[in-house]
Amino acid sequence: MAQVSRNKQVILTDYVTGFPKQSDMNIVDSTITLKIPEGSNDLVLLKNLYLSCDPYLRILMTKDTTAELGALTPGSPLTGFGVSKVVESRDPDYKKDDLVWGMTKWEEYSLIPTAQILFKIEHTDVPLSYYTGILGMPGMTAYAGFFEVGSPKKGENVFVSAASGAVGQLVGQFAKLHGCYVVGSAGTKEKVDLLKNKFGYDEAFNYKEEPDLNAVLKKYFPEGIDIYFENVGGKTLDAVLLNMRVHGRIPVCGMISQYNLDQPEGVTNLAHIIYKRVRVEGFAVFEYYHLYTKFLEFVLPLIREGKIAYVEDVAEGLENGPAALIGLFTGQNVGKQVVVVAHE
């Protein structure tokens, strides 16, 4: 007879308006039969190990979200990126004990269509949790956004916002490896120190303590910015536009400062896109997964040889997931925010 297990879940209680709160999510003790139902040959049963806290989840918590991925469903567990172990599979591509990363649910065990698995994990000499970050979606985001969308050239001037986060810490280091001058902004003194002392940023500043963002950018970029890796939007973007160099590029990765606002802030300096012939380009990591093998060949040696730093912020236990997730929007996380569901 199939084993029935406890299945702790993080349930979205209702659509979210404004900043997400702890009460927007509920921890529920559910149960699950650890067996794939008969006739469901496109499903795998996963034991979830690490879950990824990602800012885009907030966008999916808005009712009638315009995001292509579609809204999360109140009353159901959150869905998101995670690292999981296969408990049972009817798909010949996966077998028991395979490790995978892809879309899973915020719960201990998940029945998931195999199509939601993105990649089988082949390299386990690195921490498994890295597949929620540097070796997972945020790593691919930094790689595709900087190299494919940003078209960097050696010696160019690069500015990164949310620079100590999951994506930002990698963009800065990729840019340094590429021979660029790199400046980052972040929201605490601790993060600014990390940027300069751990991630190798040439300069960094705390945007919350700068009354005049235009002036601080002018100071660090007297010749202007060639690439602005956009993570935050709003006031930062507006100041950046005044400081772009001719033929500058703005890969638009995210605008986290806008996700919780009912009425987004107005950006006023867009005419500089003409004056400086700037290319502003939105991108989505899911259009670049065909580069994943190439990306691993690039980044795994850097990790193994200690040539790239990587900082994770680890929350232990699913019950601490909601606080970890909402912490992204107040900058609580230092580095990539991970939730540990089980250490294997």
Ligand X SMILES: NC(=O)c1ccc[n+]([C@@H]2O[C@H](COP(=O)([O-])OP(=O)(O)OC[C@H]3O[C@@H](n4cnc5c(N)ncnc54)[C@H](OP(=O)(O)O)[C@@H]3O)[C@@H](O)[C@H]2O)c1
Binding site for its own copies (CB under 8 A): 66-68, 233, 237, 246, 252-255, 258-259, 263-284, 287
CB of 104 to its own copies, least distance (A): 23
Q: For residues 133 and 113, give the distance between their C-alpha atoms in angstroms, rounded to a whole number.
A: 22
Q: Which residues make beta-bridge pairs with 228?
A: 159
Tokens standing for 320? 């601490």
Tokens standing for 238? 């507006």
**CA angle, 138 as apex, 209 and 220 as ends, to 5°?**
35
Tokens standing for 265? 């802030």
- Residue 2 binding: pick among ligand X, its own copies, none (C-beta 5-8 Å cut-off by kind): none
* Tokens 């699950």, residue located: 32
- Residue 103 binding: pick among its own copies, ligand X, none (C-beta 5-8 Å cut-off by kind): none
CB of 176 to ligand X, least distance (A): 17
Return the number of the residue (92 or 211) whose C-beta is nearest ligand X. Answer: 211
β-pairing verdict for 244-252 and 279-282: parallel
CB of 42 to ligand X, least distance (A): 26
In a 10 Å sphere around its CB, with 0-12 CB exposed, 13-18 middle and 19+ buried, how is residue 33 labelled? middle
Q: Return the residue nearest ligand X (CB atom).
A: 165
How many CA atoms lie within 13 Å of 99's alpha carbon, on the beta-carbon side? 17
Residue 272 corresponds to which amino acid?
H
Q: Is 232 in the site for ligand X (CB under 6 A)?
A: yes
Return the number of the residue (49 or 232) whose C-beta is nearest its own copies. Answer: 232
Q: For residues 38 and 139, give the distance between their C-alpha atoms in angstroms, rounded to a whole number.
A: 37
Return the number of the residue (56 or 159) whose C-beta is nearest its own copies. Answer: 56
The interface region with ligand X, picked from 75-83, 195-203, 281-289, 317-325 by CB under 6 A, is 281-289
Per the CB < 8 A criterion, the answer to whether 342 and 6 are in contact is no
Per the CB < 8 A criterion, the answer to whether 51 and 128 are in contact is no
In a 10 Å sphere around its CB, with 0-12 CB exposed, 13-18 middle and 19+ buried, how is residue 70 labelled? exposed
Return the number of the residue (165 or 254) whose C-beta is nearest its own copies. Answer: 254
Q: Which residues make beta-bridge pairs with 10?
A: 27
Q: Is 141 in the site for ligand X (CB under 6 A)?
A: yes
- Residue 273 binding: pick among ligand X, its own copies, none (C-beta 5-8 Å cut-off by kind): its own copies
- Residue 271 binding: pick among its own copies, ligand X, none (C-beta 5-8 Å cut-off by kind): its own copies
Q: For residues 229 and 47, give the distance between their C-alpha atoms in angstroms, rounded to a whole number.
A: 35
Size of the site for ligand X (CB under 6 A): 31
CB of 233 to its own copies, least distance (A): 6
CB of 152 to its own copies, least distance (A): 17
x/- contact string, 166-205, with ligand X (CB under 6 A)?
A: xxx-----------------xxx--x--------------
- Residue 333 binding: pick among its own copies, ligand X, none (C-beta 5-8 Å cut-off by kind): ligand X
Q: Is 102 in the site for ligand X (CB under 6 A)?
A: no
- Residue 166 binding: pick among its own copies, ligand X, none (C-beta 5-8 Å cut-off by kind): ligand X
Task: Identify the helix (H) or strand (E) that includes residue 301.
Answer: helix 292-304
x/- contact string, 34-73, with ligand X (CB under 6 A)?
A: --------------------xxx-----------------
Residue 212 corresponds to which amino acid?
D
- Of the candidates 298, 319, 327, the one whose C-alpha atom is nearest the C-alpha of residue 142 is 298
CB of 255 to its own copies, least distance (A): 5
Residue 51 corresponds to which amino acid?
L
Residues interacting with ligand X, by CB under 6 A?
54-56, 138, 141, 162, 165-168, 186-188, 191, 231-232, 253-257, 274, 283-285, 328-329, 331, 333, 336-337
